[in-house]
């Protein structure tokens, strides 16, 4: 099964991926995590992506599509995967479709997590991420059991440089201009499953699993 998580920055894609990977037995592939990992390692991909990410702009399609297709070719994706943060443009959606079609595969479902804009800013500005396993937390909504430490792996938590209010607003503008058209694109393809992401984390998880099993 190939599942796409679609939604604005801060909608809860990474948070819901924690439950979905466990319940569906699929790996999560996060384009943002892959870019950050490449930066940490000092890899060329990381350098290419850095200036775009700092500004809150999208990394060019060509670079992003290549990175994801390479990751999808790994053995742990043979049975499918959960794509988090990709595709973010129509060009990326078409690139993915064509690559899957060559292997007689296709996207099964697109889970669209819908959240109001004011809530998104609050979520992004209070987000903390595990440096080691990338699990997201929130100072108020989803705090770790021990301050500054990841529940899952004990790793150190940090705030992303692009989670300031200013850059978050820029990322939301980019989302509405370049990514939101994908909602209609996948709805027309009959693949869109929409959930109300304004509610609590567990409620959204329950609703998502129920909607996906239909």
Q: What share of the chain is helix, strand, coil (3-state, %, to 5)?
A: 50, 15, 30
Binding mask 175-204 for ligand ADP (x = CB under 6 A): ----------------------x--xx--x
Q: Which of 160, 170, 187, 199 is catalytic?
A: 160
Task: Provide the CA 82 distance to its chain's centre, in angstroms.
Answer: 9
Convert residues 120-159 into a mask of x (bound to Zn ion by CB under 5 A) and - (unbound). ----------x-xx-x--------------x-xx-x----
Contact between 2 and ligand ADP per CB under 6 A: no
- 10 Å Cβ neighbour count for 188? 9
Residue written as tokens 């996207």?
A: 107
- Helical H runs in the chain? 13-24, 31-41, 44-55, 61-72, 90-102, 117-125, 165-174, 181-188, 201-212
Residue 95 binds ligand ADP, judged by CB under 6 A: no
> What is the binding site for ligand ADP (CB under 6 A)?
7, 9-15, 31-32, 35, 52-53, 56-59, 64, 85-86, 88, 92, 123, 126-127, 136-138, 141-142, 171, 197, 200-201, 204
Catalytic positions, written as ranges: 13, 88, 127, 160, 171
């Amino acid at each position: 099964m190939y599942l796409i998580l679609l939604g604005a920055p801060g909608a809860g894609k990474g948070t819901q991926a924690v439950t979905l990977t466990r319940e569906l037995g699929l790996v999560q592939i996060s384009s943002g995590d892959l870019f950050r990992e490449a930066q940490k390692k000092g890899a060329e991909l990381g350098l290419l992506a850095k200036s775009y990410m700092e500004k809150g702009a999208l990394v060019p399609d060509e670079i992003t599509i290549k990175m994801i297709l390479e990751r999808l070719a790994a053995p742990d994706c043979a049975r499918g995967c959960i794509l988090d943060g990709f595709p973010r443009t129509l060009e990326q959606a078409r690139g993915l479709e064509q690559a899957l079609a060559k292997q007689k595969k296709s996207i099964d479902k697109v889970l669209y997590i819908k959240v109001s804009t004011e809530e998104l800013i609050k979520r992004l500005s209070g987000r903390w991420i595990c440096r080691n396993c990338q699990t997201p937390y929130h100072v108020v909504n989803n705090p770790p059991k021990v301050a500054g430490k990841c529940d899952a792996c004990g790793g150190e938590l940090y705030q992303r440089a692009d989670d300031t209010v200013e850059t978050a607003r820029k990322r939301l503008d980019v989302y509405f201009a370049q990514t939101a058209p994908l909602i209609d694109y996948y709805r027309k393809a009959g693949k869109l499953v929409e959930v109300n992401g304004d509610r609590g984390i567990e409620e959204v998880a329950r609703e998502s699993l129920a909607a996906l099993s239909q």
